[in-house]
Amino acid sequence: MAATATGRKLLIGGDWVETGEWTEVRSPYDGSLIGRVVKAGAGETRNALDAAESAMREPIPAHERAAILDRVAALLSERADEAARTISAEAGKPMKAARVEAARAVSTYTMAAVEARKLVGDAVPMDASPAGVGKLAFTLRVPIGIVAAISPFNFPLNLVAHKIAPALAAGCSVVLKPASQTPLSALLLAELETEAGLPAGWLNVVCGPAGDIGDVLVDDERVKLITFTGSSSVGWRLRERAARKRVNLELGNATPVIVAADADLEDAAGRLAANAFSFAGQSCISVQRVYVERDAYDSFLERFLPRVEALQVGDPADEGTDVGPVIAESERDRVLSWIDDATSRGARVLSGGMLDGELLRPTVIADAPRDAKVSSEEVFGPLCTITPYDTLDEAIALANSTRYGLQAGIFTSDVKSALQAASDLEFGGVTVNEAPTFRADQMPYGGVKDSGNTREGPAYAVREMTEQRLVVLQLR
């Protein structure tokens, strides 16, 4: 039986396990105690790998994997309110956004079930070369092996779903290490997977010190793939250390968007105000750098700033709240210091820039130097910069001028400008007349440059989590 929401145990080999040590989970909003989780270390992680290894000795047929995924989607739909409250409590995410995340996780499971049902290899046109005449060949998609999944705090339910649902669709067992700040949403999903009939050992969840657990996942040869979402520094280091494994990275961004003078400014202002500050800017594709064509700069600001100022800052548990806390006081203070750095070098604060109680108000900055941290690094807080530009080439060069490349956007009514942006923006995805914060869960989602090396979305993740095995038949 699962432990209660306030005292969650680890899931290892189908059992809910205690170690005698517990870690507290506290609200990023007011520090109140949300729950406790059992603390794992290297020993429990090895036990989890043993369980994952023995699970894979008895493969589950695709139709059963798909049925389990569908049942998780149904159970999660029924318990969407509880899931949203769990996300909101442990991540400090406003309920509005937490409800969207819970609904998206249902979609992720639904899409993964589809992929489980249609997982096939390719036919190879053998007689296309003289060497292949008289032979028939095709590939099978076989599970890569044990998947280690490491997830971040900011989408504690849906980004866990994006790892464990495709892994099951692909026929891989998983050892999951959720972010220490947000283990409860992950353990809720684990509970739903067991309730949906997942046999023992296919999903194992270990919570505890990242270094201890991470070292085992990196060093153990039974782990064939590490799927990591989180910061660039941790992600690329893991990849260097796990040279013989497939290491799939979904990392940060300093998300740019271009607003051309021919755009619908009203629409752009509305979408960008919402998407620069939702969850206090703590989404990897939160709008951070807004480049506005000089002719439209003042008109855009006239529409944008009142919308930013109307955002409700406060308790994430209140249904009306738009912007809650950043994840930790130290992170809030880091963002404040980046604002100070920019203003000391000539930037102007157009809105926010100060605390509202303990919370940082949505902050809009103009005239930030190009090499200021707010213009070049990932802020991961409720802040965006506004910068005028004169030509589209200049705007694209500015957008490309960071080490990141996850998603970018353009607002324009000119199809040529849209297509130029799609062609020249060096990002994994480009949105046109939509904020680059947009994501639907079936999309291929991922970055280039420092933002990562893979694409998530069940159809794409399942391919990453399988190997192609070639079969060649001599016909005569």
Closer CB to ligand NAP, 223 or 301, in the complex: 223
Q: Which residues pair with 16 in a beta bridge?
A: 11
Nearest to 338 by CA among 393, 377, 288, 296: 377
Work out how close the CB of 227 gets to ligand NAP at its nearest, in angstroms, rounded to a whole number.
11
Kindly compute the dihedral angle of the four CA atoms of residues 464, 466, 467, 473, in this order, to the nearest 10 degrees. Answer: -130
* Residue 460, both tokens: 């794409």
Residue 152 is a binding residue for ligand NAP (CB under 6 A): yes
Site string for ligand NAP, 388-407 (x = CB under 6 A): ------------------x-
* Member of 69, 175, 251, 269 binding ligand NAP (CB under 6 A): 251
Q: How far is the CB of 92 from ligand NAP (least distance, A)?
A: 13
Q: Which of 8, 177, 332, 373 binds ligand NAP (CB under 6 A)?
A: 177
Question: Restricting to residues 327-366, which ones interact with ligand NAP according to CB under 6 A?
Answer: none
Q: Is residue 250 involved in binding ligand NAP (CB under 6 A)? A: yes
Whether 207 sits among the annotated catalytic residues: the reply is no
Report CA-CA distances (Å) from 1 to 36, 44, 164. 17, 19, 21
Whether residue 281 contacts residue 380, with contact meaning beta carbons closer than 8 Å, is answered with: yes
Query: Is the CB of 89 or the CB of 296 nearer to ligand NAP?
Result: 89
| Residue whose entry in the numeric block shows the structure tokens 């699962």 | 2
180 contacts ligand NAP (rule: CB under 6 A): yes
Phi-psi region of 223 (alpha: psi -120 to 50; beta: other; left: phi over 0): beta
Task: In whole angstroms, give the CA distance from residue 421 to residue 395.
Answer: 9
> 91 vs 192, which CB is nearer to ligand NAP?
91
Distance from C-alpha of 47 to C-alpha of 436, rounded to nearest angstrom: 41
Residue 230 in the binding site for ligand NAP (CB under 6 A) = yes
Residue 252 within binding range of ligand NAP, rule CB under 6 A: yes
Q: Which residues make Cβ contacts (< 8 Å) with residue 435, sequence separation at least 6?
A: 257, 271, 272, 274, 275, 287, 409
Which span (93-101, 177-185, 310-318, 346-354) binds ligand NAP, by CB under 6 A? 177-185
Using DSSP's 3-state secondary structure scheme, residue 56 falls into helix
Contact flag: residue 60 with ligand NAP (CB under 6 A): no
How large is the angle between the packed helices 158-170 and 95-117, nearest 10 degrees?
10
Sequence letter at residue 372: A
Compare residues 264 and 331 and give the one whose CB is closer to ligand NAP: 331
Counting contacts by CB under 6 A, is residue 452 touching ligand NAP? yes
Cα angle, residue 366 at apex, residues 362 and 370 outer, rounded to 5°:
115
- Shortest Cβ 469–ligand NAP spacing (Å): 29
Binding flags for ligand NAP, 284-313, as an x/- string (CB under 6 A): x-----------------------------
Three-state DSSP at 327 gives coil
Stretch that binds ligand NAP, among 3-11, 39-47, 250-258, 381-389 (CB under 6 A): 250-258
User: Closest CB to ligand NAP belongs to which residue?
Assistant: 214
Q: Is 154 in the site for ligand NAP (CB under 6 A)?
A: yes
Closer CB to ligand NAP, 115 or 378, in the complex: 378
Q: Which of 90, 101, 115, 250 is catalytic?
A: 250
Return d(Cα 310, Cα 158) in angstroms, integer.
28
How far is C-alpha 77 from the geometric centre of its chain's CA atoms? Answer: 20
> Of 172, 207, 284, 384, which is the active-site residue?
284
Two structure tokens written together for 313: 């800052």
Interface residues toward ligand NAP, by CB under 6 A:
150-155, 159, 177, 179-181, 210-211, 214, 229-231, 234, 238, 250-252, 284, 378, 380, 406, 447, 452
Residues annotated as catalytic (active site), given as ranges: 250, 284
